[in-house]
Structure 1
Amino acid sequence: MRAEEYQSFSEAWEERATIRTRPRRRLEDDGKLIFPISRQPLVMGATFMRECAHLQHFVLVQSLYKFINDVVIFETEIVDKTARSIAKDNFAIRFPFACRYDAMTVVVDEDYHALVAMDYMQQTIELTGIQPISLPAEIELSRSIPKALAMAPDHLKAAVELICVAIAENTLTNDVAAFARDDSVKASVKGLMADHLADEGRHSGFWAKLTRIYWSTASEEDKRALASIMPVFLGEYLTNEIQQGFDFALIEQLPVSPGVKAALREEVEGMSFPITPSHPLVGNIVRFFKHSALLDAPCMQEALADYLR
């Protein structure tokens, strides 16, 4: 795709953006789960089910708080930064006005998602009386993007930033979709995720198109350099170290004996599996590499061979 072929989604944004069309999501006081059990393996372990089943609600509420915290960091510190730079024409890769206008709608959407998430978190605190434990100050992208940028020569740092954010936005879209389909959780949680998904579907296409525009103009030498960086970025991105650290901190807050805590930590460690080509997140990422035309380059195919098996 060439820059002059880009078509703005401004009309769709005016008609369908959640900031324009959705009501406030209010937390229900019903018997449904506030966070899917499937997304917190800690509560499915044998030790937890035997010794701590009565603490499931507490663990799921804390897991929701972490999810919301992750969303706020992602939206305001990762995506907002790059989208705002593009919108204000301060990004090293120059894009036409239509792209920059759409980038500003992404800024508005992402900051709104963060606001809605914070509102829902406050509602949860008020309804449950459960205060959040200390939440992580960073997400995996907070580490993986700087590491990828450090590998890039100065003239490719903007390209690395663009591609990394685009990968993350396309990964998140499918993750949120799975959350929104879970019938075990409260309707307001599903609505919250569905609202987010309504915007993220538009965003994922936006970032893929900008990546295609850049990639169509990149030299073969630059493509090879970028390809060499991608496996390092993905290796840092596709980890569960931060999640595991949170789970360990959460276990420490449980009112159980030291022996039970030790058994819970052991189970959490045993639930850590490597991210393989069969993992759903990898499938999402590979689809992005195809849709953005990055995989058209033999050097990228070679660099990502371990993820394409």
Structure 2
Amino acid sequence: MNSAGYRSIADDWERRATIRTRPRRVLENDENLIYPLSRQPLVLGATFLDHCSQWRDFVLVQSFYKFINDVVIFETEIVDDVARRIAKNRFAVPFPLACRYDAMTIVVDEDYHALVALDFLQQAVAMTGIQPLDLPAQIELSRALPAAQALAPSHLRDAVGLIGVAIAENTVTHDVAAFAKDDSVKSSIRGMMADHLFDEGRHAQFWTRLVRLYWEAASPEDRDIIAHVLPTFLAHYLTNDLQKSFDLQLIEHLNVSASLRQALREEIDALDFPITRQHPMIGNITSFLHHSGLLQTPSVAHALSDYLPLAGRAA
């Protein structure tokens, strides 16, 4: 594997990583929201607005807890695992030392992000007095990676994991940025998200460069096999099934009449986010595929033709 063109993120990490540069943030007891209304469709539904508005803060707090839980799963169970194995040279794809060092900075950052998230979870429970409901044990990526890896031969499963994590790290930045800019949310939470975004921009660059390095060295046969499994990954990664299940669980904990509960369920069930070229994450995914070199491979462009904007496809 020729790493001559690889640019390390080490110097940038030394100067700017939030674990080195940010103080602890403290949750404010003010009138601002703990979670954006725009990210929780349940509280925006007609039935909820007309009859259940007194439950808004409960729903938003529980949604914040789920968000924190998702962050911890993403950072410590998935990204940390891949980055740590790369750093310790226990990955099926061997990378040069500079890449492995950079991977360890990702491990440090992601574990720190999880620590900060748990700190905010504790602060929120103490401030609101609201205990978290049973939180999901998985996120979309928890399902997407094994589903795609199961379709790949054993020697390519780590490579599929690498590409899946890289796609996720390049889409989470868009999600975090929208959260950080919402002025209705408490300043400390927006600050936490801005800190997270500050690191994730560097992480996205790292994963993109690592995938490019791998892709340049991969055989044409391996590239075509990976291309074949990518649609399965996206189908599982882009679904909103877990969010919908959580919202239905939330409805069961609202002290409302049976008829109102049924109306709320029907509104949530009616929500549909089809996985098409208009999906909000597709633009970021297309950009990653382009910059990592995958989209220049005809088999990738063909396999993902149902997802990619026409302008993003290889000629």
TM-score of the pair, normalised by structure 1: 0.98
Structure 1: gaps of 5 or more residues: none
Give the corresponding residue for 2:301: 301
Q: Deviations over 1:84-128 (max 9, x none)?
A: 000001111111111000100000000000000000010000000
Specify the code of the residue in structure 2 equivalent to 1:162: L
Q: Distance in 1 between matches of 2:229 and 2:196?
A: 30
How many Å separate the matches in 1 of 2:76 and 2:235?
A: 23
Q: CA deviation at 1:9?
A: 1.6
Specify the code of the residue in structure 1 equivalent to 2:211.
T
Whole-Å Cα distance in 1 between the matches of residues 61 and 2 of structure 2? 46
* 1:116-146, Cα deviation, whole Å (9 max, x unpaired): 0000010000000011111001101111101
Matched, 1:255 2:240: no
The answer to whether the 8 Å contact 2:295/2:301 transfers is: yes
Map of 1:55 onto structure 2: 55
Correspondences of 1:174-189 after superposition (within 5 Å): 174-189=174-189
Once residues 273 and 153 of structure 2 are traced to their aligned partners in structure 1, the CA distance between those partners, rounded to angstroms, is 33
Q: Which whole-Å deviations, capped at 9, do the CAs of 1:232-282 have from their partners, x for residues lacking one?
A: 110011111111111011000001011111100100111222122112211
Helix, strand or coil at the partner of 2:150: helix
Q: Report the Cα distance in structure 1 between the residues aligned to 2:42 and 2:16, rounded to whole angstroms.
A: 37
**2:131 counterpart of 1:153:** no
CA distance in 1, matches of 2:258, 2:192: 37
Q: State how far apart, in whole Å, the 2-side matches of 1:177 and 1:291 are.
A: 20
For residues 276-295 of structure 1, the aligned pairs below 5 Å read 276-295=276-295
Q: Distance in 2 between matches of 1:3 and 1:263?
A: 58
SS at match of 1:6: coil
What's 2:107 paired with?
Answer: 107
Match of 1:22 in 2: 22
Query: One-letter code of the match for 2:30?
Result: D
Runs of 4 or more consecutive aligned structure 1 residues displaced over 2 Å after TM superposition: none
**C-alpha deviation, 1:7, in angstroms:** 2.2
Q: Supply the AA of the counterpart residue of 2:266.
A: E
Q: Which amino acid aligns with 1:94?
A: P
- AA of the residue aligned to 2:148: A
The one-letter amino acid paired with 2:299 is: C
1:7 match: secondary structure: coil
Matches of 1:2 and 1:283, distance apart in 2 = 30
Structure-to-structure mapping, 1:137-286, within 5 angstroms: 137-286=137-286
CA positional deviation for 1:4: 2.4
Identity of aligned residues (%): 62
8 A Cα contact 2:275 2:307, kept in partner: no
Unaligned runs of 5+ residues in structure 2 are 310-315
Aligned residues of 2:239 and 2:273 also touching (Cα < 8 A): no
TM-score for both structures, normalised by structure 2 = 0.96
* Equivalent residue, structure 1, for 2:77: 77
Question: What whole-Å deviation, never above 9, does each CA across 1:188-239 have from its counterpart, x for those lacking one?
Answer: 1100100000100000010000000000011111111110000011001111
Q: C-alpha separation between the residues in 1 aligned to 2:164 and 2:219? A: 19
User: What do the CA deviations read for 1:149-192 (whole angstroms, capped 9, x no partner)?
Assistant: 11101111111011001001101111111111111111011001
Aligned-partner Cα distance in 1 for 2:112–2:279: 30
| Letter of the 2:4 counterpart | E
Q: Which amino acid aligns with 1:234?
A: L
Report what 2:313 is aligned to: none
Q: 1:205 & 1:241 partners in 2: Cα distance? A: 29
Q: Which one-letter code corresponds to 1:85 in the other structure?
A: R
Match for 2:41: what amino acid?
Answer: P
Equivalent position of 1:42 in the other structure: 42
- In structure 2, what is the Cα distance between the partners aligned to 1:5 and 1:224? 24
Amino acid at match of 2:179: F
Q: How far has the Cα of 1:2 moved from its partner?
A: 4.1
Say if 2:180 and 2:190, in contact at 8 Å, map to a contact too: yes
Q: 1:12 deviation in Å?
A: 1.1
Range that drifts further, 273-282 or 196-205:
273-282
Tell me the alpha carbon deviations over residues 269-303 of structure 1, each in whole angstroms, 9 at most, x when there is no partner. 11222122112211111111011110000111101
* SS of corresponding position for 1:273: coil
- Contact 2:106/2:203, CA 8 A, preserved across alignment: yes
Secondary structure at the residue paired with 2:306?
Answer: helix
